[in-house]
Structure 1
């Protein structure tokens, strides 16, 4: 968006990304794209042609579709992740050993990340923020201890 200020796009994207299994869907989609690209490799690079025709192109396309659907429809993430891991493993037989194992691994890791994602989990607090909170709590507690020691 060329007209929008940069300061408002990044927080909006972070909020959108926090409400879905972003990295899992992205890895699954990248795995599908990688397998599709290796199908177009030259004959010198191809290790295993596999079943020619529909299956060689269908499975990576389903991987790519599942990754995109995970990003834009996270409520059905469990179904898409199970289908994604099964299809990713199926590309080992049909599409150049799963895109020379790179697409296969990207798809399996992305599906596993998606399957393990919890939507209602509190966002993680960085170590720096935890230390800052601990120092603030300690600073508040010390004057109270001094006052208690003076009155006793």
Structure 2
């Protein structure tokens, strides 16, 4: 039995995930989704009590649910990131009133931070090069220049 092996090295799951993550505002979406989940977990009232209270109680569950949804939408549909981030920051600030001071400030701060990271993300940026690679490239360039200078002097 003969198995065909592709010509080049096959990227692993980690490299594929890294490439997927680089093409979207990953950390902003993740923080916004986590903020919605954290605020939902800090809610103490049962759904029966919420229905008895009315719209104010329902907003305590609705806003963090929408925050979690917006975080996921940022991850899977980054083309609309500006609208999602602006809506996310407004919802995060709205949880101050509706959901235990925004999940005891933690969810509020995570939501605002995630929304700001998403708003500031630019899709056309070059991938960051680590400091080690930059130093290695600078040393190689300096070596090339030094060898060129020695070659012209001789």
Give the shorter-chain TM-score range. 0.7 to 0.9
**Separation in 1, partners of 2:59, 2:68:** 14
**Separation in 1, partners of 2:150, 2:62:** 72
Residue aligning to 1:139: 143
Residue aligning to 2:87: 83
SS in 1 for 2:12: helix
Alignment of 1:1-152 (within 5 A): 8-40=12-44, 52-150=56-154
Q: TM-score, normalised by structure 2?
A: 0.85
Structural RMSD (CA):
1.7
**Separation in 2, partners of 1:100, 1:79:** 26
Q: Give the Å deviation of 1:41.
A: 7.6
Residue aligning to 1:3: none
**Separation in 2, partners of 1:28, 1:143:** 52
Measured against aligned partners, the alpha-carbon deviations of 1:117-136 in whole angstroms (never above 9, x if no partner) come to 00010011111111000011
Count of matched residue positions in the alignment of Structure 1 and Structure 2: 137
**Separation in 2, partners of 1:52, 1:86:** 17
Residue aligning to 2:49: none
Q: Give the Å deviation of 1:57.
A: 0.4
Q: Give the Å deviation of 1:52.
A: 4.2
Measured against aligned partners, the alpha-carbon deviations of 1:81-128 in whole angstroms (never above 9, x if no partner) come to 000000000000000000000000000000000000000100111111
**Separation in 1, partners of 2:33, 2:44:** 17
Gaps of 5+ in 1: 1-6, 43-50
Segments of 4+ in structure 1 off by > 2 A? none
